[in-house]
Amino acid sequence: MDLLSLPAIGHHEPHEVAWNDLPSRCILQLHWKPESGFRDKLAYHKFIPMVLHRHPLDLLISILHFCRHEPQTACWLGGLGGDENKIINAAPTDNAFVEYACSERARVLLNLSGNWTKQAGTIALHYEQFVADPMQIISSSIDCLGLVVDPSAIKVALDKNTLRVLQQWSNLHGWMGRPGLWRQLILAKDAAIIEQAHKNVFSAQGYSVEPDKSLTSSESLKLWESISIKSSTQK
């Protein structure tokens, strides 16, 4: 990571990490459950866990778009609870999306950040706050890590890693960057069903569900078709 002048190492599962060969200081990018053995390894190597919370319905919409461009979503959490195959190229109004959103796969993915936040020493960030004021959130995060970085360096890093830059990645890792987008895409009846399936997630993370009750299927589909980027394999 340029801002901290540290190497970034990314893996899908803990066993893929070369624990004995890690640099003395680095950033480890890995989405995994807070199992005791994994937490022990992180503590031994003096890592500080950092997780990001996001409105569950926005997260599900993001997954719906991202999975059509990134086949490795099946590797998330080692495939625990299933995969995203049934929603590739689906729309937010499709039954397939609602079924996925209420599934065990969605449950384990949506619970991941909350489960980590329960662990002592974890730094929890919120996507919505980051979008609203990235400078402040990055500065406070650096403070939590006990590091000192010149504010001008933070601005340079933000300028180099804009949403437009992320949109150029082959898997389209950047997309809309718009908190609350789900209200324009998920019908009120479906939002209620999904909320009921994951009530503990919404309540634990402090997110409410206040859908646009006037949203119609045609309006949702029209917006989805205008903002979603089709998979190169889509027929």
The predicted-structure confidence for 63-99, as pLDDT tens digits, reads as follows 999 998 888 899 999 999 999 999 999 999 999 999 9
Residue 120 CB contacts under 8 Å (≥ 6 apart), including other chains: none
Query: Rounded to 5 degrees, what are φ and ψ at 91?
Result: -110, 160
- pLDDT of res. 164: 79
Residue 222 has pLDDT above 90, yes or no: yes
109, 197 Cβ separation under 8 angstroms:
no
Residue 6 has pLDDT above 90, yes or no: no
Coil, helix or strand at residue 124: strand
Cα 32–Cα 132–Cα 207 angle in degrees, nearest 5: 55
The predicted-structure confidence for 166-202, as pLDDT tens digits, reads as follows 777 655 566 788 899 999 999 999 999 999 999 999 9
Please, what is the average pLDDT of the chain?
90
Q: What is the pTM of this model?
A: 0.89
In the chain, the amino acid numbered 18 is A
- pLDDT of res. 235: 31
169, 17 Cβ separation under 8 angstroms:
no
The predicted-structure confidence for 124-136, as pLDDT tens digits, reads as follows 999 999 999 999 9
Residue 58 CB contacts under 8 Å (≥ 6 apart), including other chains: 127, 179, 180, 181, 182
